[in-house]
Amino acid sequence: MPGRNPAGTVDVSPSETAPDHLGEPVMRRTTTALVIAVVAGAALASPAAAGAPSSDLQPQTLTRGPDIAVPHIEDGYFVDGERRIELPGTVARVIGPSMGGWMVGTHRTNAVGERRGGRVVHVLPGDEVRTVLRDVDPADISVSEDGSSLLGVPDTGRSRAKVKVWAPIDGSVVATRTFRGHPEVVTADGAKALVRTTTRTFWWNFARNEVRRPLTTRLTGPASSTHDLLTTFTRDPYLGGCTRVVRLSRPKVKRWSSCADRVAAFSPDGAQMLTYDILTDGLGPGAIRLREIDGTLLATWTTGWFSAWSWESPGTVLLETNGRRKAAVVRCTTARCENATDPVDATAP
C-alpha cells in the first residue's frame, strides 16, 4: 500500500513549498545554494494595508469546508474528485498537467531518510498510470506551462550539468544541453526553457538548441511565461538585497518591489501573488501574504509555519498549515478561511 506523504496527510501540489523543499526554485550564491528563511514578521506597508484582513490560522478553530477541488496527493494516492488512484513508491507530488492527464513524481524513502526509486508517472484520464521517467529525483522535474514538455537537471549537485527535455508521453529525450553555474529550469513554454545559473538567467530554445543573450545577471526567482512575470533580486537578500517583480519580456520594467518580502507563487491568472518574509529559513514561513501584482496587500495569514502553498483557483489559496495543536490544509480567500482536510495532530519540528 502507498505510504503517507510527510508533513501531514495531504500534499497540495502542484505548489510551491517551504524553502529547499520540493518544487521551489532555490537561489544560489556564487558556489552554494542560497537558502531563504522563516522569520515571521509584520506585513509590508502597501496601499491597502490598513484595510487588509489578517488571520491567525489554527485548524482546530476553523470550520470544515469542502474537500480539495484540484488534483492532489492523499495518503500516497492521486486524488481528483471521486478518482483515487494508487501510485508507486511511498511519497508523491503532483508536478503538473500534461497531455490530458497529470504528471506525478514518486519515490521511496528508506530507513535513514534517503530517496530511492525516483520516477515520474503520467496519470491518464482512464486511470492508467504510465511510468515515463525512472531513476530521477522528482523534485528536479517540472512541466512546461503548456504541458508539452518535461524538463529537469538530473545532476543538480554539479556546477557543470545537463539540462534535459523529455516528451511527457513516453519519456524520450527531446533535447539536452550542458551549462555551467549550477543550471536550474525556472519555467518553460512551447520550445523555450528559462534557465537560471549562478551568473545569469536566459532563454534556451531547445527546439533549435539556441541560447539567447541573458535577460538578467541578477538572482531570479519564480516566473510565468504566460503572464510575462519574473522575480529578480537586486543582490543577495542576506547582503541587503530587495525583491523586484518585473516583466519577463522586459526585465527593466518593474511591476513591484520590496526589501521585506519575496514572491512565493504567482496566481494562475497572473493577477495576484503570495509573498513572505525575504529572510526565511528552516521549516517554512510563519506568515504568508496575498497581494495584487502591484503589491497591494489583500490579506495576511499566520500560523506556526506553512509547509506548502498552492492555488485552488484564482483568488483561492490552499495552505498546508501547521498550528500550535493541529495541522490541516486550509483554504483561504480574502473573505474567509476553512479547513479543506480534517485536522490532525501537529507534529513537533
Average pLDDT on 239-253 reads: 97
Residue 110: pLDDT band with limits 50, 70, 90: confident
Return the minimum-mean-pLDDT range out of 9-18, 211-220, 251-260: 9-18
User: Does the 10-345 domain belong in CATH 2.40.50?
Assistant: no
Residue labelled with grid coordinates 480539495 = 68
Residue 49: pLDDT band with limits 50, 70, 90: low
pLDDT of residue 38: 28
| Percentage, residues of the chain above pLDDT 70 | 86
Residues 137-170: tens digit of each pLDDT = 999 999 999 999 999 999 877 899 999 999 999 9
C-alpha cell at 14: 502542484
Whole-number Cα distances in Å, 300 to 132, 212, 247, 255, 260: 40, 39, 25, 20, 14
C-alpha cell at 336: 474567509
Q: What is the pTM of this model?
A: 0.86
Buried b (16+ CB within 10 A) or exposed e, 266-287: bbbeeebbbbbbbebbbbbbbb
Domain residue spans of the chain: 10-345
Single-letter code of the amino acid located at 116: R
pLDDT of residue 158: 85
Return the minimum-mean-pLDDT range out of 22-31, 84-93, 178-187, 219-228: 22-31
Residues 203-238: tens digit of each pLDDT = 999 999 999 999 999 999 999 999 999 999 999 999
pLDDT of residue 35: 27
Burial of 151 (0-12, 13-18, 19+ CB in 10 A): buried
pLDDT of residue 14: 58
| pLDDT > 80? residue 86 | yes
| pLDDT > 80? residue 26 | no
Query: Which carries the bigger pLDDT value, residue 28 or residue 67?
Result: 67
Return the minimum-mean-pLDDT range out of 119-123, 232-236, 278-282: 278-282
pLDDT of residue 157: 79
Q: Which of 317, 319, 287 is nearest to 38 (CA)?
A: 287
Residues 290-305: tens digit of each pLDDT = 999 999 999 999 999 9
